[in-house]
Amino acid sequence: MDENDYLCSVNMRRMVKYVTVLLLLVMILACRAARDIDLPRPLKGVSEQILYRKGYVVSYNKDTRLPNWVAWHLTAEHTEGMVKRPSNNAWHDDMEVPKPRATSRDYYKTGWTRGHLCPVADNKWDSEAMYETFLMTNCCPQHQSLNTGDWNEIEMSCRKWAKKHGDLYIVCGPLFIGKQHEEIGANRVVVPEAFFKVVICLNGKPKGIGYICRNRGDNHKKRFYQHSIREVERITGMTFFPHLSSKVAKAVKDSADENEW
């Protein structure tokens, strides 16, 4: 090996080492970002397994085969990116949760769609983050009209607000009304009667807003579904963003006005 080949080999090894370290730092920062989210207070009397993903965090319920909630930090940067939605069926089982667990086959010919909780379009910034949105633990049986209609409109508003204000913190999940619920598939995946979403922005004047949508083919303006976060807490029995100061919590939880956004 002559001197030029030797120097080329050394530089190549240095470059590989540099890229490896850089990738590890990116992974660490992404994981740390997920863990820095102010997660809802631990649930009482409900099965709960916390799962950390690159772009979101899940509280998984092995009894319903669904998430209790999904939480994520949506930044202006995360609303954009070059990653394309997979053209084929990217939904896949979550091997981190015990059997029986939801599979795509459970949805086959049921009339229910696989509804994302943390949206694909919030994760165009990273291919791994987007792929993880297709885990079945980020999914609920959702009415087709809700999935592509009013729920989608709320998701698009969140991305618009993140671009406008810099970043948001979001939590959403299924709601069960009454004691009897429809179940689908061999794994008896429970069908929610409704869904909730709470959103806060801490930049400038702190503000918050909540939504509750019935799991059916309604078609209303967003204001129809609007609630204060305090009201969503009352309905769900959950406590969102529990580590906010009392002053900020009052500002974001006690009222909801889309005009502030």
Kindly name the residue from 73, 78, 116, 143 that is annotated as catalytic.
Answer: 116
Q: What are the residues whose beta carbons fall under 8 Å from the beta carbon of 238, sequence distance 6 or more? A: 40, 41, 43, 69, 232
Assess contact for 175 and 108: CB atoms under 8 A.
no
Cα 255 from chain centre? 23
Active site residue 116: yes
CA neighbours closer than 13 Å in the CB half-sphere of residue 143: 17
Among positive and negative, which fits the CA dihedral 196, 45, 93, 188? Answer: negative
Look up tokens 């319920």; give the residue: 61
**Six token digits for residue 129:** 């983050």
The dihedrals phi and psi of 232, each to the nearest 5 degrees, come to -65, -35
8 A C-beta contact, residue 129 and residue 53: yes
| Cα–Cα separations (whole angstroms), residue 93 to 28, 57, 194, 222 | 24, 16, 23, 32
What's the token pair of residue 146?
A: 């809700």
In contact, 172 and 198? CB cutoff 8 Å:
yes
Residues 34 and 31: their CA atoms lie apart, in Å, by: 5
Active site residues: 116
